[in-house]
Amino acid sequence: MEMQYTNLGRAGLLVSKLCLGTMNFGPRTEEADSHRIMDRALDLGINFFDTANVYGWKLGEGITEQILGRWFEKDKRNRDKVVLATKVYNKMGEWPNEKGLSAMHIKKACEDSLRRMKTDYIDLYQMHHVDRRTSWEEIWQAMEQLVQEGKVIYVGSSNFAGWHIATANGAARQRNFLGLVCEQSLYNLTERTVELEVIPACEHFGLGLIPWSPLAGGILGGLAQAGSRRQDDWAKQRIAKYGRQLKRYEAFCETVGESPADVALAWLLHNPVVTAPIIGPRTLDQLEGSLHALEIKLNARQLAKLDEIWPGPGGPAPEAYAW
**Residue 288: how many CB atoms within 10 A of its CB?**
15
Q: What is the CATH number of the domain that holds 211?
A: 3.20.20.100
**Residue 5: how many CB atoms within 10 A of its CB?**
15
Q: DSSP assignment of 179-209, as one string?
A: -EEEEEEE-BTTB-GGGTTHHHHHHHHTPEE
Q: How far is CA 294 from CA 5, 6, 136, in A?
A: 11, 12, 37
From the list 5, 55, 242, 249, the catalytic residue is: 55
Q: Which of 191, 197, 200, 195 is nearest to 219 (CA)?
A: 191
Domain that holds residue 37: 5-220+262-300
Q: What integer pLDDT is reported at residue 225 of this predicted model?
A: 59
The answer on pLDDT for 267 being more than 60 is yes
Residue 235 placed within a domain: no
- pTM (2 d.p.): 0.95
User: 22 burial class (0-12, 13-18, 19+ CB within 10 angstroms)?
Assistant: buried
Residue 40 placed within a domain: yes
The answer on pLDDT for 17 being more than 70 is yes
The verdict on whether 55 is a catalytic residue reads yes
The answer on pLDDT for 218 being more than 50 is yes
Q: Which of 254, 256, 276 is nearest to 265 (CA)?
A: 276
pLDDT tens string 140-180: 999 999 999 999 999 999 999 999 999 999 999 999 999 99
pLDDT tens string 18-49: 999 999 999 999 999 999 999 999 999 999 99
Residue 42 placed within a domain: yes
Residue 122 placed within a domain: yes
Q: Which of 18, 276, 8, 279 is nearest to 153 (CA)?
A: 8
Residue 229 placed within a domain: no
Helix, strand, or coil here: 226?
helix
Residue 251 placed within a domain: no
Q: To the nearest 10°, report the CA torsion of 242, 183, 301, 247.
A: -20
Q: What integer pLDDT is reported at residue 233 of this predicted model?
A: 79
Q: Can you tell me the mean pLDDT for 214-228?
A: 78
Q: DSSP assignment of 242-299, as one string?
A: HHHHHHHHHHHHHHHTS-HHHHHHHHHHTSTTB--PEE--SSHHHHHHHGGGGG----
Q: What integer pLDDT is reported at residue 235 of this predicted model?
A: 79
Residue 323 placed within a domain: no
Distance, CA of 155 to CA of 73 (rounded, Å): 25
The answer on pLDDT for 229 being more than 70 is no
Q: What integer pLDDT is reported at residue 222 of this predicted model?
A: 84
Q: What integer pLDDT is reported at residue 238 of this predicted model?
A: 87
Distance, CA of 62 to CA of 214 (rounded, Å): 24
pLDDT tens string 272-307: 999 999 999 999 999 999 999 999 999 999 999 999
Question: How many domains in the chain?
Answer: 1
How are beta strands 5-7 and 14-16 bridged, if at all?
antiparallel
pLDDT tens string 195-214: 999 999 999 999 999 999 99
Torsion angles phi and psi, residue 123, rounded to 5: -70, -40
Q: Can you tell me the mean pLDDT for 72-83?
A: 97
Residue 167 placed within a domain: yes
